[in-house]
């Protein structure tokens, strides 16, 4: 078999060239040049594969190595057959080359999607530039956040899922920082945060917690912790020293209590001698009534009017000092029923000081049932309706109540009249204490109604504003924004004052 592979029984290729030297040398040098190149290329590829273990498509590259080497060997056999007719060996080498070539083509076809997915150098360069820009942006953002953290009065604690302290004030303290590795103040803060984290659980909402601790200098201070669970896991807590704020609030509460007690006491105690003066005026009128005339009668009438006005002012002061303080509970309040009761029991000739037969008080649209505290809302609506009728410049008029119940966090109530309106320069003045736009000699008024209304609305966390004119240069619209969660506002700033 071996002898047949290298049999010399055939005619060498040189005879086909008629042994012409130029033709023989042309084929010989060409085949040997191709052989030399085909041996060098696989050597370089093999070195590359060995040194670069991260190259994709290694199997395809090794097939190319085998394919190129076999091609080179077939060219070497082409040079040999010029003198030695080893055609069977040459054919076997060509068959092997064909098989490896087919295998390479099949493997390349299968790996084509992967080959196409490899980014080009320009794409890689663009990605590198983009990553550099992103990294620069991240560094800037980190620098900005560090500057913000440094400027904040709060100390920021970051905890992992196991409640281990990760960082304090943006400085990493290590995953083992749970006990001995921490300062005493930090350990005390973590103990306070434990109860907050138990309350927070898996919910990603903000929870606030107040506590008292000794600081690093041993001074006992008030702190406010705001803790939120991160969606990625772990918690972030801001610890703020609120000692000065607490002191100011307590001082303000004390001052307010003293002031309110003074107003209450003064208003209450002043009404006693005022009632005595009123009683004396009544006795004088009863005893001397038939004989009083002229200037004496006018003076007695003026005295009774002044006593009545003073009593109204003191009653208004008492009501103003109590505005915003209530122990009422939330209950379903039918605004239609509220309006009916205001019209039936509150709006009268006595409360408005005029004939009310020409006035229409009505609701526009549906009046819903809302859950709120009833007494303050009743008083506010009564004040606004009475005010609209009392200060109307005509004998006939209309007061309209509207309610917008579409907001998730508050209800908007509007009281609109068709009276003379209020000039812009007076629109804030009417909410101040004892301020009236009509002289008291022309209309009895304490000037406290709108001040009480705004104070009460503000106390529950809402607002009271007015617009004027409304239509054709006339009319006033009072807009009340009444919060749905009034209990929190009442209990927090006012109930305990």
Name the DSSP letter for residue 394.
Answer: S
**DSSP class of 179:** S
Tell me how many degrees the CA angle 454-457-462 measures, rounded to the nearest 5. Answer: 120
pLDDT at position 487: 45
Q: CA of 280: how far to CAs of 34, 296, 297, 429, 450, in Å?
A: 137, 15, 15, 37, 33
Give the whole-angstrom CA distance, residue 442 versus residue 454. 25
Q: What is the DSSP string of 53-71?
A: TT-S-HHHHHHHHHHHHHH
Token readout for 177 is 């920082």
Question: Are the C-beta atoms of residues 480 and 457 closer than 8 Å to each other?
Answer: yes
Spatial separation of the C-alpha atoms in residues 476 and 419, rounded to whole Å:
7
Q: Across the strands, what pairs with 331?
A: 372
Assigned fold of 331-495: Heat Shock Protein 90 (3.30.565)
- For residue 1, count CB atoms less than 10 angstroms from its CB and return exposed for 0-12, middle for 13-18, buried for 19 or more: exposed
**CA–CA–CA angle 19, 37, 106 (5° rounding):** 110
- pLDDT (0 to 100) of residue 478: 93
Neighbours of 248 (CB within 10 A): 11
The CATH code that applies to domain 152-241 is 3.30.450.20
Q: What is the pLDDT of residue 391?
A: 86
Tell me the three state secondary structure of residue 256: helix
Please list the pLDDT of the chain residue by residue as tens digits (497 residues).
Answer: 556 666 677 788 887 888 888 888 998 899 899 889 988 888 888 888 888 877 777 888 888 888 888 888 888 888 888 888 888 888 888 888 889 888 888 888 887 887 677 777 788 788 888 888 888 888 888 777 666 666 666 788 888 877 788 777 656 665 444 445 567 777 788 878 877 777 666 655 677 778 888 877 777 888 888 888 777 677 788 888 888 878 887 887 777 677 667 666 666 666 667 677 777 777 777 777 667 677 777 777 777 767 666 666 666 556 555 555 555 577 888 888 888 888 888 888 877 878 888 999 999 988 888 888 887 888 888 889 988 898 888 999 999 999 998 888 889 999 999 999 888 888 888 887 666 665 555 555 566 778 888 888 888 888 999 998 888 889 999 999 988 876 444 433 333 33
Task: Read off φ and ψ for residue 164, nearest 5 degrees.
Answer: -90, 140
- Sign, CA torsion 449/452/457/460: negative
Q: What is the pLDDT of residue 493?
A: 35
**137's torsion region: left (phi>0), alpha (psi -120 to 50) or beta?**
alpha
| Residue 185 CB contacts under 8 Å (≥ 6 apart), including other chains | 213, 214, 215, 216
């Amino acid at each position: 078999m071996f002898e047949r592979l290298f049999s010399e029984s055939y005619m060498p290729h040189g005879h086909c060239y008629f042994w012409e030297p130029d033709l023989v040398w042309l084929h010989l040098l060409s085949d040997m040049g191709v052989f030399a190149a085909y041996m060098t290329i696989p050597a370089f590829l093999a070195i590359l594969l060995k040194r670069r273990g991260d190259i994709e498509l290694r199997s395809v590259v090794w097939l190319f190595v085998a394919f190129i080497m076999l091609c080179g060997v077939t060219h070497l056999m082409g040079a040999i057959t010029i003198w030695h007719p080893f055609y069977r060996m040459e054919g076997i080498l060509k068959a092997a080359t064909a098989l490896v070539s087919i295998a390479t083509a099949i493997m390349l076809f299968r790996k084509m999607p992967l080959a196409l997915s490899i980014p080009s150098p320009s794409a890689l360069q663009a990605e590198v530039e983009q990553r550099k820009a992103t990294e620069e942006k991240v560094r800037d953002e980190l620098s900005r956040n560090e500057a913000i953290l440094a400027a904040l009065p709060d100390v920021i604690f970051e905890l992992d899922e196991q409640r281990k302290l990760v960082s304090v004030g943006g400085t990493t303290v290590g995953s083992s920082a749970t006990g001995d590795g921490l300062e005493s103040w930090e350990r005390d803060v973590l103990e306070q945060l434990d109860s907050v984290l138990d309350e927070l659980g898996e919910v990603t909402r903000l929870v606030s917690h107040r506590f008292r601790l000794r600081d690093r200098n041993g001074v006992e201070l008030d702190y406010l912790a705001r803790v939120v669970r991160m969606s990625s896991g772990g918690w972030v807590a801001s610890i703020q020293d609120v000692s000065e704020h607490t002191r100011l609030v307590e001082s303000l509460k004390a001052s307010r209590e003293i002031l309110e007690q003074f107003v209450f006491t003064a208003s209450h105690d002043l009404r006693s001698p005022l009632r005595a003066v009123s009683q004396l005026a009544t006795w004088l009128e009863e005893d001397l009534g038939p004989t009083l005339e002229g200037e004496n009668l006018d003076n007695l009438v003026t005295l009774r009017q002044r006593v009545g006005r003073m009593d109204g002012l003191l009653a208004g002061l008492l009501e103003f000092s109590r505005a915003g303080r209530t122990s009422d509970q939330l209950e379903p309040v039918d605004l239609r029923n509220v309006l009916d009761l205001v019209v039936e029991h509150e709006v009268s000739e006595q409360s408005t000081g005029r004939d009310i037969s020409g006035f229409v008080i009505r609701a526009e649209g549906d009046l819903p049932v809302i859950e709120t505290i009833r007494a303050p809302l009743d008083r506010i609506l009564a004040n606004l309706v009475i005010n609209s009728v009392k200060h109307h410049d005509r004998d006939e008029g209309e007061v309209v109540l509207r309610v917008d119940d579409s907001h998730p966090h508050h209800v908007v109530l509007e009281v609109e009249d068709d009276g003379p309106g209020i000039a812009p320069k007076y629109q804030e003045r009417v909410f101040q204490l004892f301020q009236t736009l009509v002289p008291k000699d022309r209309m009895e008024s304490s000037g406290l109604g709108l001040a009480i209304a705004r104070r009460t609305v503000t106390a529950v966390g809402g607002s009271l504003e007015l617009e004027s004119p409304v239509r054709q240069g006339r009319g006033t619209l009072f807009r009340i924004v009444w919060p749905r969660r009034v209990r929190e506002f009442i209990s927090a700033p006012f109930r305990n004052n």
